[in-house]
Amino acid sequence: MLIAEHEEGIDLSLYISADVMDHLQGFHPLDLIGQGKYSEFCLMLEGVSHFLYVVWNAKHLKKVTLLEMEMQAEIDKFVILQSLLNSSASRADVVLLRAWLFEKNRFDKMLTETELERYKQANYYAGKYCKGLQQQHNLKGLNTGLLKELRRFYRFVQQDKIRYINNQLH
C-alpha cells in the first residue's frame, strides 16, 4: 500500500500482485483453506485491511501507526478466516487457525530489526486479543456481541488497544 500525505489529505493506492490475484481467481476462500493454500488469500486480506483502516482513521482525523495497522490486519485475518470456517469448523479448527496465525508464523529474514520488532509486537498483541475473543465470545459466527466488541476495539488508538489487551484480556 502506498500513502502520500499532503495538505489537502492523503492519496492511497493498494497494489495486489497479479500472481496473488491469479492464485485467488476461480476459487472460493474455503477451497483454498481446505487445500492449505491460504497464504495468498491472507496477503490480499492484509492489504485490504490496511487500506480500510487508513481510510477509516483519516475520515475521523486520526493518525495511524504502522504497529496498529499491522495489529488490526492480523485481527481481521483471524476474524475473517474463522468466519469462513464457521460452517464446517470445530472449536479445535479455530484453535489451530489461531496457532497458525500467531504461534507458527515465520518472519521474513529481510526485515530490518525495527520492522521485525514491529511485526512481532503486532503478532503478539493480535494473538492475545484473538485468544480473548475465543474465550469471551462464541466464534461460531459473527454474532452481535462479537461484532460490538470488534467495532469498539477498531475505534481505539494504538495505546488504548494495547492497554485494553493487557488489562481487560487475561
Q: Where are the domains of the chain?
A: 2-168
- Among the listed ranges 43-52, 61-70, 129-138, which one has the minimum average pLDDT value? 129-138
**For residue 155, is pLDDT > 90?**
yes
**Mean pLDDT across the stretch 142-157?**
91
- 24 pLDDT band, cuts 50/70/90, is confident
Higher local confidence (pLDDT), 86 or 100: 100
Global confidence as pTM: 0.88
Residue holding cell 456481541?
145
- Among the listed ranges 16-25, 46-55, 61-70, which one has the minimum average pLDDT value? 16-25
- In this prediction, residue 21 carries a pLDDT of 86
If we measure between CA atoms, which residue out of 95, 96, 115 comes closest to residue 107? Answer: 115
Percent above pLDDT 90 for the chain:
48
Task: For residue 48, give the C-alpha cell.
Answer: 485490504
**For residue 62, is pLDDT > 80?**
yes
Size of the chain, expressed as the number of residues it contains: 170
Q: What contacts 116, CB < 8 A, 6 or more positions away?
A: 107
